Structures are given as C-alpha cells and as structure tokens.
Structure 1
Amino acid sequence: MDVGTALRGYFDLTRAGNAITSGVLTFVGAYVTGGAFEEPLAATAAVVATIFGVAAGNSINDYFDRDIDAINAPDRPLPRGAVSPRGALLFSGGLFAGAVVLALTLPPLAIAIALVNLVALVAYTKLFKGLPGAGNVVVAYLGGSTFLFGAAAVATPDAAALVLFVLAALSTLAREVVKDVEDVEGDRSEGLNTLPIAIGERRSLQFAVLLVLVAVLVSPAPYLVDALGVSYLIVVVPALAILVYASYRSFEDPTRGQSFLKYGMLVATLAFVVGRAVPLS
C-alpha cells in the first residue's frame, strides 16, 4: 500500500467535516459566553481538543464496527483495506491523547466535560448503540456538550450557554429518533433494536414532538434573564417554528422532517450568535 492511500485512509477515518463542525460549535459556545476573544488561547485549545476528540471517536467507532461496515459500508477505510484495525486503534489513541493534553490546560469544569465526552465516545458503540434510545441520548448529549465545553473553557457558562446546550441536545435527540424511524426497515433486517422498533414508529415520533415542545418552552430563558437581547428573540422565533414544523412533518415524511430539524437547529445556533453580537435592548 502506498503512503498516499494510507494517509487518505486515516483522514477518512476522522470524518473531518464532522470533526471540524464540532470544533466550530465549541467556538460558538465560547463566543456566546463572551470569552472567545478575551481568552483566545483557551478557546483555541477547546476547539482543537474537540476536533481531536470527535476524530478519535469516529476512528474508534469504525474499529468496533469494522465487521458490520464490511457489509454495509465497504468503502470505509477499514473494509477497503486502506487502514489496518491495529492502525486505526493506535491512530484513535493518539488523537484521544492529544485531546486530553489540550483539555488539561483548561478550567476544571471544562476538563470534567471533556473526560465525560471521551468516555462516552469510546463507550458509544460497545455499550449504548444497541440499546433502544440510549445511543440517541449519547449522541444528543455529545452534540449539545460542544457548546457547553466551549463556554466552560473560557468562563462560567451563563444562561445563554446552558440554554444553547439544552436546545441542541433536545433537537439532536429529536432528529436522531426521526432518523431511526426513517431507517426502521433496514435496522430491523439487521437485527437492531432501535427506539421505533422497540416502542413503535408513531410513539417515537410523538416523543420527538414532545422534545421539540420542551425546547420551545426553555428557549426564552436567555432573554428573560437578560443574558441576550431582543435580537436573539427575532432570530430564535423562526428557528423554533422550523423545529415545530419539522417534528410534525416527520409523521408524513421522516426524511424531510429530520432535514428540517437540522436546519432549525442551525438557525437557532445563529440566534445565539446574533444575540451576543447585536445586543439590542
């Protein structure tokens, strides 16, 4: 195997787009808290630690899933022979070590969040992925915690950062449930026991709607406690409308529903950025 093929294989293991996106979300958490530019070294360390941690988690999950991927995803690095299982394991370990070293330069709360996340990333495939709803909860927590980690890296997380974490986790959990409804036939044929298979598709979609409604209820908190101004409300209201529409649309078309849930969360994230950048009274 030539060096270029091997390097491409290791790069593909990281799912770089996903890892970098998570790093951006960590920066948003630091920015919303107001410390991204006041504590640039800490913010940078948190962003890079997030990228390394997510890349490591993606790599270790490919290591554990290599037999399933040989059937379902033969183009991934391990099934196609670009990376050996031992190579993937060592590569993941190196990335985890880098993430830990960077995280240890941060305040205690950020270190605690990083350690919990690293354990969750490693344990996801072996312990939680096969349990109905448990894997969804882990993914939702990890998605929301990027904001919380960024905030904790530069300051004590305020109401805006905490609500951003909650909104991200709830909307991600709703989207994960809808995605499982979308994939129910394939998952059933592979013997997986996802939430829709365990409790039914309609009940799962009703649960997703409930999650979105809870997100709507907590969303005004940053404005009510004067953490963010009117500019936040101006942008977050349409974001919430998209989330509500998406959850109900999922009953007719889960594929479109989960796509709209993603768009709604992106707009909601923008609302927090605008609320910090344009603090209208």
Structure 2
Amino acid sequence: MIRTLMELTKFRLSAAVTLSAVFGFALGGGRDIGPLLPATLAVLLLALGVSALNQYQEWESDSKMERTKRRPIPSGRVHPDAALAVSLALIALGTLLISATLKTTGLLLFLFVPLWYNGVYTTLKRHSAFAVVPGGVLGMIPPAIGWLAAGQSLADPEFFALGLLFFVWQVPHFWLLAAKHDADYRAAGFPTAVEIFGDTGFRRVLCVWWMLTVLCALYTAAIFGIRSSVILLLLAALAAATAAAGGRIPFRQLTAERASTLFRGINLFLLGTMTLMSIDTI
C-alpha cells in the first residue's frame, strides 16, 4: 500500500522538488529552521498532490506507454476516483500549511501551482512539445518558498538569478527525458521536440538550452558572490566539464542511452551547483 502510494505521488521526484526549497532557504541566508520545516513539508505535500493529480489526468495516456503502463491507475491497483481524492487532499493540506506559514504570498504561490501544472501545462503538452517552456515557471516555485521562509523578498536580484536558473534548467531536463522515451511519447500521442526538429535539429536546440543552463548557473554564482576560492574553483570546474559535455551534443547520435546519461548529467550539474553555493553561503 505504501509503495503504491509512493508511486502514485511520485515520491522520489517530489522529494527532489522539496530539496530545491531547502536550497532556496540556504541561499537566502536562513538560519532559523522554525519556518523552514513547515514550509518544506508544505512543498512536499503539494508536490505529492499535483503529481497524483497528474497521474489521474493522464492515466489513459499512461496505459499506452511502456514506461508508465504499470503505474497504479493504469495497472488497476488504484481506482481513478481514489487517486483524485488523495491528490486533492494532499494539495489542500499543503496549501493550508503554507498559508499558516508564509501567509498570503505562500498561499498565492501554492494556488498557482495546480492551476498552471495540472491546468495549463498538462493540457498544453498534449498539443505542443514546447509546453515545457511555460511549464518551466513551476521550477521557480519551490526555491521561492525556501527563499521566503528565510525572510527574503522575491524582488531581490539574487532570487531573480536563482529563479532564472531553475526555469532554464527545466527545458533540457524535460526534453532529455522525452528523448529517452521518444517512442513511448509518440505512441501515447504526445508531440516531441525530436519529431518537430528532427534528430540533428533537436540536438542543436538542446545544446543551446544546455549551454544557457550553464551560463545561468555562472550568472547566479556571480550575483551571489562566491566568498570561498575553493568553492569558486569547484564551481568553475563543474561548469567547464558540463559545458564540454554539452558541446558534444550536436555531434553524437542521441540514443536512448545517451539521452539518459545527459539527463543525469544536467541534473547533477544543478545539484552540484546548488550544493556548492549553499555551502559557501553557510
């Protein structure tokens, strides 16, 4: 039962999303973990809820894809109505908790997430491979919650840089996942960037977004101002290695295995950058 619930709510992905709120708190200079604990719990509850709601919305499409046909709803382990009830309960709990913690600003951000993710983005991605671009806005919300919990303002230039990094990173992150499962997505009727651009064109466009992610990370580090020379050298080495890997994207065939490797690479780049910057801030 617990395992099924974790699958329905995409617990591992939701936990990773919650981690970005912790990074936002650390980079915001937060010291009192009092506001952090309820804020991160609220982010986790919301992430679990919108993930379950997304599975409810897409279970018929999931049943057509090899990667997703064994998920709780298409496999018959969970009735769609039960999944809907669980998702709405989690979203409500998370929203109530963030409202009590961060008041109106937190409430508005949380109300925006299901409207944008489950309303706009989930609908749009059935019709356009570019849905990930407006959908990337959602990547800014968890670090924003952490930033607010640290007592900072979303108008701060530092948060603009941080939010921009999370926004841009979402595009290669999602497109590489879609490229890894390209046949599955097409079978389910989802348009893909590979289908639109062709293999060569897609690799070129992917390379641009990959390099933009690296540049945004460097911009974020510059805006925050890295104090430790060791951290600065590690960030520079990480950025150089990631840029070198991205520079090879247009020249090598993007097989499912290579897309998977690059997917892990861009995720580890963001994780490494956030970890190093957080250590420097602390």
- Name the TM tier (shorter chain): 0.7 to 0.9
In structure 1, the partner of 2:236 is 237
Deviating more after overlay: 151-160 vs 59-68: 151-160
In structure 1, the partner of 2:116 is 120
- What is the RMSD of the two structures over their aligned residues, measured on CA atoms? 2.5
The answer on whether the counterparts of 2:217 and 2:273 sit within 8 Å (CA) in structure 1 is no
CA distance, structure 2, for counterparts of residue 225 and residue 259 of structure 1: 26
Cα gap change, 1:114/1:235 in structure 2, threshold over 3 Å: closer, same or farther?
farther
In structure 2, the partner of 1:95 is 90
Question: Does the alignment pair 1:62 with 2:55?
Answer: yes
The answer on whether the counterparts of 1:242 and 1:260 sit within 8 Å (CA) in structure 2 is no
CA distance, structure 2, for counterparts of residue 69 and residue 138 of structure 1: 22
Matched to 1:53, the amino acid is L
Displacement of 1:34 in angstroms is 0.8
Q: Percent identity?
A: 17
In structure 1, the partner of 2:211 is 213
From 247, 263, 268, the counterpart of 2:273: 268
Q: Matched residue of 2:75: which SS?
A: coil
Higher RCO, 1 or 2 (CA under 8 Å, sep at least 6)?
Answer: 2
CA distance, structure 1, for counterparts of residue 264 and residue 216 of structure 2: 22
The answer on whether the counterparts of 2:25 and 2:143 sit within 8 Å (CA) in structure 1 is yes
CA distance, structure 1, for counterparts of residue 226 and residue 110 of structure 2: 26
Cα gap change, 1:20/1:259 in structure 2, threshold over 3 Å: closer, same or farther?
closer
Matched to 2:80, the amino acid is P
Cα gap change, 1:101/1:108 in structure 2, threshold over 3 Å: closer, same or farther?
same
Number of paired residues?
Answer: 270
In structure 1, the partner of 2:36 is 43
Deviating more after overlay: 179-188 vs 81-90: 179-188
The answer on whether the counterparts of 2:61 and 2:188 sit within 8 Å (CA) in structure 1 is no
* TM-score normalised over the length of structure 2: 0.84
Q: Which runs of 5 or more residues in structure 2 are unaligned?
A: 253-257
From 134, 141, 155, the counterpart of 1:145: 141
Q: Which runs of 5 or more residues in structure 1 are unaligned?
A: none
Question: Does the alignment pair 1:156 with 2:188?
Answer: no
Q: How does 1:137-216 map to 2 (within 5 A)?
A: 137-154=133-150, 155-157=152-154, 158-216=156-214
The answer on whether the counterparts of 1:69 and 1:79 sit within 8 Å (CA) in structure 2 is yes
CA distance, structure 1, for counterparts of residue 121 and residue 222 of structure 2: 40
Cα gap change, 1:140/1:226 in structure 2, threshold over 3 Å: closer, same or farther?
closer
CA distance, structure 1, for counterparts of residue 28 and residue 5 of structure 2: 34
* TM-score normalised over the length of structure 1: 0.84
